[in-house]
Amino acid sequence: MTKTKTTFLFLAAVIVQLAILALVPAKQIYARATGRLITLKVVPVDPYNILSGHYMTLGYKIAQMPSDPRQLDGRQIPVYVVLKEDPNKLWVVDSVNKQKPSSIPPDKLLIRGRTSYRGIEYGIEAFFVPEDKREKIAADFRANQNNARAEIKVDRFGNPALIKLLLGDNTYEY
């Protein structure tokens, strides 16, 4: 094989690796750039075990399964959740659908998730925090369990990106 051909193949392979790396945060970058900013209520998953390794596991009010879970069994199936804003400026579930709704009114919002045995997962459950701030944030979280919120951006396809965590009056963004 000639050197030119090998160089070409090598560069192509490196470009593929770069493309894979670019695909990892692609949806998040798009959602951050174009998405609509909403605030969600964060509920404690396990307040005494918030930190698992490098991140905090966030539970969301909107992750709770609808009252009739028969239509959505524990398997990982995609669901389309329609959200609406409540008087407290927090977004809550309006409906959970297996099929994508044909149209969404402007005062509502579509977000995509996946069912699991823990409820609905949106891919925004991990909040990575710097090592030296971990204990402080965990303590803050325990103190503000009833006033924990997260700001997320949702793009027009329903993909969410986690932006910041609001605990009482403190804001955490990394």
Residues forming the site for another protein (CB under 8 A): 3, 6-7, 9-10, 12-14, 16-18, 20-21, 23-25, 28-29, 54-55, 74-76, 116-117, 121, 123-128, 130, 132-133, 161-162, 174
Cα–Cα distance, 9 to 76 (Å, whole number):
38
Judged by beta carbon, residue 1 or residue 48, the one nearer another protein is 1
Judged by beta carbon, residue 5 or residue 89, the one nearer another protein is 5
Judged by beta carbon, residue 17 or residue 102, the one nearer another protein is 17
Judged by beta carbon, residue 2 or residue 99, the one nearer another protein is 2
Q: Which of 48, 46, 45 is nearest to 64 (CA)?
A: 45
Closest approach, Cβ 57 to another protein, in A, equals 8
Beta strands in 88-143 (DSSP E): 91-97, 108-116, 119-121, 126-128
